[in-house]
Amino acid sequence: MNYRIIDTTRPIVRDAIGIGELLYSLENICGDDGIEISDAEDWYLIDEAKYVLGTFFEDGHIRNMWLIGDDGDAKEAKAEVKALKAFIKKYDK
């Protein structure tokens, strides 16, 4: 398995990768876009956080099933939602 080191000099990057579902999504989308997470602009990270948060409330999405307890521990999903909301509030100026 290849592990990439993410430059966490910027606080927004450090906070983004600290949220499991956001990190997972960023790894995929940044890979598709051919950029490193640490090189992503702030708006990019914020927009992705908003998207991931939205999926928790989208009927039929795996994250929604997780949140309502149909697919895993809803407590963990609620913690992810809380962290995403805090991230967005902190950085979406």
Please say if the pLDDT value at position 18 is more than 60. Answer: yes
Burial class (CB in 10 A: 0-12, 13-18, 19+), 26: buried
- Whether 93 is in a domain gets the answer no
Please say if the pLDDT value at position 80 is more than 80. Answer: yes
Confidence of residue 71 (pLDDT cuts 50, 70, 90): low
Q: What is the mean pLDDT of residues 34-57?
A: 96
State the DSSP code for 10.
Answer: S
Confidence of residue 3 (pLDDT cuts 50, 70, 90): low
Q: What is the mean pLDDT of residues 13-17?
A: 96
Count the domains in the chain: 1
- Whether 4 is in a domain gets the answer no
Q: Is 49 strand, coil or helix?
A: helix
User: Which residue range is the domain that position 81 belongs to?
Assistant: 11-88
Tokens 């009927």 belong to 59
- Whether 2 is in a domain gets the answer no
In whole angstroms, what is the distance from residue 65 CA to residue 69 CA? 6
